[in-house]
Structure 1
Amino acid sequence: MKRFLLLLLFLLLPVFGFSQFKDAKMVDSIYGLHKLARTASYPMPERFEFARKAIELSRLEKVDSIVLSSNRVLSFLFLINRDIDSIYPINKENLMLASRIKDSLRMAYATNNLAYYFQETNVLDSSYFYYVKARKLYQSQGALHNEASVLLNIAVIQERERDFMGSEISAIRAIEILKTLPPSDSVYDLLWSLHNLVGIVAEQLERFDTAIDYHSRALDYAKKMKQSESLRLYTQTNLAILFRRKGKFKEAKSRFRAILKNTTLKYEDPSTYSLVLSGLAYSEFLDPNNANDSEIQTRFKESIEVAEDSGFLMELMYASRYYGEYLISKGNKDSALVYINKAHELAKSQNANESILRTLLLKAKIEEGGQSKNYLLEHIQLNDSLVLKERLIRNKFARIDYETDVIKKEKEIISKQRLWLLLISAILFITLLFVYTIKTHRSRKRELEMVRTQQEANEEIYNLMLSQQKQLHEAKEQEKKRISQELHDGILGRLFGTRLSLDSLNLNKSDDAIQSRSTYIEELKSIEDDIRKVSHDLNTDFISQAKFTDIIESLVSTQASAIGLKQSIIIDDNINWDQISNKTKIHLYRITQESLQNVFKHAEASEVSVSMVLQNKNIILEIKDDGIGFNDSKTKKGIGLKNIRDRVNEIKGDLRLDSEINSGTRVVITIPYR
């Protein structure tokens, strides 16, 4: 059998090894496809093919973590390819898989991507919700850079929805986190974006000095990065605009002209060129010390032309609005209305509410009478709706933050409850184990005590039997001595006298001698009878038979007499107790003793009988009383009855218990006779 098992193991080992080898090879293939899908030198269609093949193989493995890794590669390709519609389903599945394997970091990645999807599709409340969740997940994992990035996106959404205070708070939180990280281009890039955003928010709140301060800091971070010309240019433009809004027209014009010194800007970045050119023209128009109208008009027209040719709608909107204001100031209302209307339509198409409000005021200024009032009324209604929307958005964001915190607290409470439940369960288990141990120990101690008591009782019976045997031996010795005395003093003396008389008569043949011989012969017969009687007494082993039976009779007699019960005892003389083991006799004694105690304690009997008979090679012990009896179908678990059953089982016997109410009780034990 052992050789067969070894052979089976030898045959199966290569199968298991091959299975594991196949699984490892499959996983290697999947990760190889991941690497190919991320390699930028391959054409995008091939990279998508690699990613989808990896997902197909991963699903065959049926391992959530491997499927999730493959899905993330495909999600990455959707992001860099800006396939917005595909981002949602793949990341919804990723979030489910990451939740199932309790991978908080990958849950954060998927949640962040879902937030990005809703941000790009302009469902900003859902985007905000997912960004808040992603931030909490990154925070729990100590992913500070990712947390700061998410806070930036939250701040951007708040700024877009005109929750300026909330946006500033989120941005400053992110800045504080980033300052704890080692310097790098990615950290500087985030710091630039955050300082730029705080500057924009401060500008919206007309806190121009704060805005200039944060844009100046943003410029410092841009200078620390490699290949950051576009960021520096953007920040320099913002600073020039801020100085213009603050009324520092000379400083604004100086900064705009400094940017325009780059002769290649018009061709390399026509969007910024158009914005800076219109910004310079607008600053010159607003500066009361400037009188060169031809240059201003030339700049406005060139800015509008560049924006129109390149399709830059925001830059065209600003240039058209600024030029319209300039034309109004020159009294050319008809031409001004053309440009203001163009700016108004562009503002509506770009959802630029601030520009819509400004163009409505300009249109009201150009028009007269009822039409002007209509524009003013439209301005008021839009402004009121925007204020109400801002309040609702702030409340909505606050509710999302609150609900997220509540969910977090509820999870913490649930975690604490689970911990307490675990601790209580552990304490309860230990307590129960301790109680069980003590109970088991006590039960074992009780059992050992019972065994010890039983051994003492057995020793007592054994000593009693030894004492009985000693008494028997002494009785035998006394009987031998009596027989010896009788033989010596009686029978031998008579034999000796008779022998002498016969010897003397042998020489005499008279009638008297004959008569005397006849008398002596009779005497010999009498002596023969005496010898036969002594011989019979020697062959009768009445004392040996009496030793165990005497103990039983003494037990029954003593206990029955103590409470005044009538008793009867029958012991079959055919039972040779010398053939019965001491163990069996001890158990029979104890069974009888226990049964009698039950009779005396519970039966309320007036008579008890004990019998031991030999029947069909079995010894039948019966203890019977005429007491009140009991329902034998219910009384099965008493200690006394249990002890009797245990003893009967010890000697391979059988117990039968018969009892009825008011009809007495009968205990019958059957044991093999050998």
Structure 2
Amino acid sequence: MKTPFKIISLFLVLIIFSCNKTESSSGEIKTSISLDNKSLVGKRKEKYLDSIFNLLNAKKNDSVIRNLYFRLSTEYYYNKNLNKSLATSLMVLKLSKDVNDKEGIAKALYYIGDSYGNIKKDSAYFYYLQAEKLYYKLSDYDNTARMLFSKACVLFYDGNYVECEVEISKALQYLKESKDQELIYSCNALMGNCLEKLTNYDKALWYHQMALNNLEKMKLSNKDELNNYNVASTINICNLYDLKGEYSKSIQKLQGLLSKDLEEKWPRLYANVLSNLAYSKMKNGQYHNVYLMFSRSLKILEKSGDESDILYKKIHIGEYFLTQKDTLKAVQILKEANRLAIRINNSNEILTSLKLLSSLDKKNSFYYANEYINLSDSINIIQKNAHNKYARIEYETSRIEDENKVLTKKNLYMLIISFILILLFLIILVLRYSKYKNKELQFLIKQKKANEEIYLLLIEQNEKINIARENEKTKIARELHDGVMNKIYGIRMNLGFFNAKIEAEIIEKRKKYIAELQNVENEIRMISHELNQNSFFEGNDFNKMLTILVDGQKDISVTQFKYIIDDSIDWSIVQNIYKINLYRIIQEAILNVNKYANANNCEIKIQKIKDNFLRLTIIDDGVGFHVKTLKNGIGLNNMKDRTISLKGKFKIKSKIGIGTVIEAVFNLDAIV
């Protein structure tokens, strides 16, 4: 029944360790804001801390401000305001996440776990677990072990001793190379207490002895603090001696701890040592002064107001009265202990008091035994659920991490695939752009080549035009020289011969020569008209021009000329070069008909065939001629040359006494 004192001693070690841990982690901050005002306590301290919290909210998020939040959370914690400690820790967690401060995030998770503490053990366990994993990723193995220790404490106070042992074993593995002797000491002490609960007393004793060995390596500036560690470990060792029945060893060690200095500085710890000594003496059968020791211990603890310690002392006093066979006092004090245990919800001591009462209070023995069984079953169920709960937290956390890993892996694959697709897209884009630029270059080369060909064609065409122009000039000159000049010369000679005679017959012949001069005049006019033909075609209706040309023959020719108009032809889109050559071919044909054909009728017709083809047909009913014999005729050759120059086709059909058919077909797209 000495276990409660062992738990108290462990709790004392944890508080000392926690205090040192928190202050050392933030003690290096230099700031004008003071959080160490020891003159303020309770509500005044809380109000002071609130003002600092509000002040920090207006500050920029940096490492100094975050460390101040950590210190503020610690001050709230020791001022017993866990809600505000939790709120402050959550705030610094957010700030740390905002700047991706991994160490700050892990530390904030640790503080949140401490803030939940015994209020929500599963939440505390969850945040310790998160902090542990993050510290491990940061290769901070001391703090990884610290989180394992914190998890083990939660498991220990929930009665999950096997899981507690596993967590402490992991922590000690991480601390093999560590120089943090305080943390190692705490882990060894908790392992000893855990093994004690698992009834492995020898191994538990070994771990408590290891904890004492750690004390020799610890460098603490406060000797009182080192002494308190020593007292706590000694109490733990004496608990094991008592459980093994070695009460004399326990009495010897505990008596060595009692001192006036301990009583004055640490009255609660002194009361626990005194009570444990009384308990060991009682178990060893040394009843002298035992009740006084229990009473004095109880009196000291009642001043501190710690109901848990008072509960344990009353149970031990009840046991003492039981050894003294004072059943009434034993039942009275145990009932008080039972009521106190129920009020503070200490299930272990409720069971202890019920068990003792069931054996002492014969009248209500059945009631107490039944309550004991019901409560024991309930505790077993709770512990089983607690075990499942923490296992579930580990599993769910692990599952979430696995899902995150899978998600991260998927995201990585998606990122890689996206990168490859983007790269392929860029490659395709570059290739297409290169292909486009290459096509553009090829097009420019072809365009340049086409321009060169066009230029050459234009030069060639100009040469042809110049040649045609020269040929026309030559023809006109020849016509003037060979035709007109000869005619004028002959007429002039005949008129000179007949001018001196006045006979009627001579006068008639003179009239004929005068008419012949009129014909020469018309011929000269026609040649002159040809010389101005280029400018004449611009902006005039081609059909009208041809009509005027044909109608103009009425006064100078016996042949009836007829021009048949095809209204489907849009002469505005036909190139001038075609119109010029058509006009001259018709003009040449009319001249030949007038000079040689002796025809009564001549039909001139231009038709549109297919899409861009024109056909010129000139038909007369004159005397005709042999085509082969007149193959080298100048007029016909001129017409043929003009047609061929436009890449057209020229045909002549003629028979003596029947007439002549001249046909020229032009492709308007042949010359672009």
Q: Which amino acid aligns with 1:269?
A: W
Distance 2:48 2:84 in 1: 16
Partner residue, 1:600 = none
| Alignment CA distance shift 1:464-1:571 (3 Å) | farther
Partner residue, 1:648 = none
Partner residue, 1:35 = 31
Q: Do the aligned partners of 1:571 and 1:611 also contact (CA within 8 Å) in 2?
A: no
Q: Structure 1 residue 445: deviation in Å?
A: 4.4
Partner residue, 2:618 = none
The correspondence for 1:127, drawn from 124, 128, 144, is 124
Distance 2:37 2:275 in 1: 41
Partner residue, 1:27 = none
**Structure 1 residues 501-554: Cα deviation after superposition (integer angstroms, max 9, x where no partner):** 999x9xx99999xx99x8999799887777666555444449999xxx9xxxxx
Partner residue, 1:593 = none
**Structure 1 residues 140-170: Cα deviation after superposition (integer angstroms, max 9, x where no partner):** 4444444333322221111111011111222
Q: Structure 1 residue 220: deviation in Å?
A: 1.8
Q: Do the aligned partners of 1:38 and 1:47 also contact (CA within 8 Å) in 2?
A: no
Q: Structure 1 residue 206: deviation in Å?
A: 1.0
The correspondence for 1:235, drawn from 225, 233, 236, is 233
Q: Which amino acid aligns with 1:36?
A: S
Q: How many residues align?
A: 519
| Alignment CA distance shift 1:540-1:410 (3 Å) | same
Structure 1: tracts of 5 or more residues without a match: 1-32, 550-565, 579-605, 613-674
The two structures have a TM-score, normalised by structure 1, of: 0.64
| Alignment CA distance shift 1:524-1:371 (3 Å) | closer
Distance 1:574 1:393 in 2: 104
Distance 2:145 2:329 in 1: 48
Which structure has the larger Rg? Answer: 2
| Alignment CA distance shift 1:611-1:50 (3 Å) | farther
Q: Structure 1 residue 241: deviation in Å?
A: 1.6
Partner residue, 2:76 = 78
Distance 1:536 1:230 in 2: 139
Higher RCO, 1 or 2 (CA under 8 Å, sep at least 6)? 2
Q: Do the aligned partners of 1:567 and 1:608 also contact (CA within 8 Å) in 2?
A: no
**Structure 1 residues 196-224: Cα deviation after superposition (integer angstroms, max 9, x where no partner):** 11111111111111111111111122232
Partner residue, 1:282 = 279
Q: Which amino acid aligns with 1:328?
A: L
Matches within 5 A, 1:365-376: 365-368=359-362, 370-376=363-369
Partner residue, 1:245 = 243
Q: Do the aligned partners of 1:199 and 1:215 also contact (CA within 8 Å) in 2?
A: yes
Q: Structure 1 residue 491: deviation in Å?
A: 6.4
SS at match of 2:80: coil
Q: Structure 1 residue 490: deviation in Å?
A: 6.3
Partner residue, 1:585 = none
The correspondence for 1:149, drawn from 143, 146, 151, is 146
Q: Structure 1 residue 405: deviation in Å?
A: 1.7
Q: Do the aligned partners of 2:82 and 2:116 also contact (CA within 8 Å) in 1?
A: no
Q: Which amino acid aligns with 2:31?
A: K
Q: Do the aligned partners of 1:219 and 1:232 also contact (CA within 8 Å) in 2?
A: yes
| Alignment CA distance shift 1:200-1:422 (3 Å) | same
Q: Do the aligned partners of 1:347 and 1:355 also contact (CA within 8 Å) in 2?
A: yes
Matched, 1:172 2:169: yes
Q: Structure 1 residue 570: deviation in Å?
A: 4.0
Q: Do the aligned partners of 2:537 and 2:576 also contact (CA within 8 Å) in 1?
A: no
Q: Which amino acid aligns with 1:358?
A: T
Partner residue, 2:26 = none
The correspondence for 2:325, drawn from 312, 326, 331, is 331
Q: Structure 1 residue 96: deviation in Å?
A: 4.8
SS at match of 1:36: coil
Distance 1:574 1:116 in 2: 101
Structure 2: tracts of 5 or more residues without a match: 1-28, 543-565, 579-607, 615-672
| Alignment CA distance shift 1:491-1:299 (3 Å) | closer
**Structure 1 residues 37-67: Cα deviation after superposition (integer angstroms, max 9, x where no partner):** 3453686569537624524534xx7x79999
Q: Do the aligned partners of 1:171 and 1:194 also contact (CA within 8 Å) in 2?
A: yes
Partner residue, 2:52 = 51
The correspondence for 1:209, drawn from 197, 202, 210, is 202
Partner residue, 2:350 = 356
| Alignment CA distance shift 1:510-1:188 (3 Å) | same
| Alignment CA distance shift 1:407-1:529 (3 Å) | closer
Q: Structure 1 residue 498: deviation in Å?
A: 9.5
Partner residue, 1:387 = 380
Distance 2:35 2:295 in 1: 46
Alignment identity in percent? 26
Q: Which amino acid aligns with 1:161?
A: D
Higher helix share goes to which structure? 1
**Structure 1 residues 346-378: Cα deviation after superposition (integer angstroms, max 9, x where no partner):** 44455443333333333233233x523333333
Q: Do the aligned partners of 2:73 and 2:86 also contact (CA within 8 Å) in 1?
A: no
| Alignment CA distance shift 1:360-1:608 (3 Å) | same
Partner residue, 2:113 = 115
SS at match of 2:32: helix
| Alignment CA distance shift 1:67-1:220 (3 Å) | closer
Q: Structure 1 residue 320: deviation in Å?
A: 3.9
SS at match of 1:239: helix
Matched, 1:478 2:471: yes
Matches within 5 A, 1:301-316: 301-308=295-302, 311=305, 313-316=307-310
| Alignment CA distance shift 1:325-1:74 (3 Å) | closer
Q: Structure 1 residue 275: deviation in Å?
A: 2.5
Matched, 1:424 2:417: yes
Q: Do the aligned partners of 1:118 and 1:126 also contact (CA within 8 Å) in 2?
A: yes
Distance 1:309 1:474 in 2: 138
